[in-house]
C-alpha cells in the first residue's frame, strides 16, 4: 500500500467517524413543562442487546445523526417521531434506522424521544407530545449552524401515532409560547399516519391513549388534523397501504383531500399491500425511502 493511498484512507475513516457520531441532547434541560414528578422510570424492550422500544418517557431527548457529506453546504434535517400507538416508541425500526438512512443520503436525521400521554405524570397528557415536537423544532433551528443544517429546510416525520404527532405539529400553531417561524416545519413526512381522531377512521388505541376513552367531540375535532389544515400547513410526503387494518388509509386520503383544497404540495405513495408498521423493512414497500430523499432534495 503506497503512502498516498494510506493517507487518503485514514482521512476517509476519520471523516466517516465524525459523521456517524451520534449526539444525544436533553430536550428540556431546565425542566420538563406540564409534568408531575412521580419517580416513574423509563423502560425499554431489547432484542439481541439492542433497544427496540421505549416506554414511560419522562425526559425527552434528541438523537442527532449528522448528514454524511464532505461538502460545506448546509443540509436538510428531519425530526423523526417513532410510532407505537402513543403507548410506546418503536425507536429502532421507526427512529434510529431511519435516521441512519437519511444521514447516509446527505440529510441530517434527528430522532425525537417524546413523552407518551400519561395522566399520572402529566397535568395535561393530550398536549405533552406536541410540546416536545414544538420544542424540538425550535431547538434544531437554534442548533442549525453548529450541526451544519439549513434552518429553512427542517421537516418533521412520523410513523403511525408518530405520524399523528407530526401532522399535529404541522397543523397546530395557535400558541403564545413560540413564533410561527420557530415551530412551523418546512415540510412533513407522514408514514401510515393516524391523521384523524374521528371514530371509524382513527386508530382507537392511539385515540384513547391521547384523548382518553370518552373525549368531547370538540377535542376529537381539534386533534383530527385533516380538519386543521390551512395555508400554513407545509408540503407533505405520504405513504400508506390499502390493506392497512390498523390505521385505515382513509386517514391519509382525507388529509390529502384537504391539502388539495389549499393547493399545498403533496407527494403520495400508496401500496396495494403491505399492512402496517413496515418501516423500511425489505419488501415491495421499501421503495419509499429513496423516493423521500429525492423529494426532499427538490424542495
Query: Collapsing DSSP states into helix, strand and coil, what is residue 153?
Result: strand
**Cell numbers for 242:** 390499502
Eight-class DSSP state of 145: T
Annotate 211-264 with DSSP letters as a single string. Answer: H-SS--HHHHHHT-GGGS--TTPPPEEEEEETT-SSS-THHHHHHHHHHHHTT-
Q: What is the pLDDT of residues 166-210, one digit of tens each?
A: 999 999 998 788 999 999 999 999 999 999 999 999 999 999 999
Q: What is the mean pLDDT of residues 69-85?
A: 92
**Complete DSSP assignment for 74-132:** -EEEEEEE--STTT-B-TIIIIIHHHHHHHHTT-EEEEEEPPPP-TTTBSSTTTHHHHH
Q: What is the pLDDT of residue 256?
A: 98
The predicted pLDDT at position 70 comes to: 75
Question: Are 269 and 287 within 8 A, CB to CB?
Answer: yes
The CATH number of 19-296 is which of 2.40.10.340, 3.40.50.1820, 3.40.50.300, 1.10.10.10?
3.40.50.1820
Distance in angstroms (rounded) separating the CA atoms of residues 25 and 138:
14
CA 44 vs. chain centroid, Å, equals 19
What's the pLDDT score for residue 22?
78
What residue spans define the domains of the chain?
19-296
The pTM assigned to this predicted structure is 0.92
Amino acid at each position: 500500500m503506497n503512502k498516498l493511498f494510506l493517507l487518503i484512507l485514514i482521512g476517509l475513516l476519520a471523516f466517516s467517524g465524525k459523521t456517524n457520531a451520534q449526539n444525544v441532547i436533553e430536550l428540556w434541560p431546565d425542566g420538563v413543562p406540564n409534568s408531575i414528578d412521580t419517580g416513574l422510570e423509563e423502560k425499554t424492550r431489547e432484542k439481541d442487546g439492542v433497544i427496540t422500544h421505549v416506554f414511560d418517557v419522562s425526559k425527552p431527548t434528541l438523537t442527532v445523526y449528522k448528514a454524511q457529506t464532505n461538502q460545506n453546504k448546509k443540509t436538510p434535517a428531519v425530526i423523526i417521531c417513532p410510532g407505537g400507538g402513543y403507548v410506546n416508541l418503536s425507536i429502532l425500526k421507526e427512529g434510529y434506522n431511519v435516521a441512519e438512512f437519511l444521514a447516509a443520503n446527505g440529510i441530517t436525521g434527528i430522532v425525537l424521544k417524546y413523552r407518551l400521554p400519561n395522566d399520572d405524570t402529566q397535568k395535561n397528557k393530550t398536549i405533552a407530545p406536541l410540546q416536545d415536537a414544538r420544542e424540538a423544532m425550535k431547538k434544531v433551528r437554534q442548533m442549525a449552524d453548529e450541526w451544519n443544517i439549513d434552518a429553512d429546510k427542517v421537516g418533521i416525520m412520523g410513523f403511525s401515532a408518530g405520524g399523528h404527532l407530526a401532522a399535529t405539529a404541522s397543523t397546530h400553531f395557535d400558541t403564545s409560547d413560540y413564533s410561527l417561524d420557530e415551530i412551523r416545519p418546512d415540510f412533513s413526512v407522514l408514514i401510515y399516519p393516524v391523521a384523524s381522531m374521528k371514530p371509524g377512521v382513527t386508530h382507537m388505541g392511539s385515540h384513547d391513549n391521547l384523548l382518553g376513552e370518552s373525549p368531547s367531540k370538540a377535542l376529537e375535532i381539534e386533534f383530527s388534523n385533516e380538519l386543521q389544515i390551512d395555508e400554513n400547513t407545509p408540503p407533505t410526503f405520504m405513504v400508506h397501504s390499502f390493506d392497512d387494518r390498523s390505521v385505515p388509509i382513509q386517514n391519509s386520503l382525507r388529509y390529502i383531500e384537504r391539502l388539495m383544497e389549499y393547493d399545498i404540495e403533496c407527494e403520495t405513495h400508496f401500496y396495494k399491500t403491505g399492512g402496517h408498521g413496515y418501516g423500511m423493512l425489505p419488501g415491495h414497500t421499501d421503495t419509499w425511502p429513496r423516493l423521500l430523499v429525492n423529494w426532499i432534495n427538490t424542495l
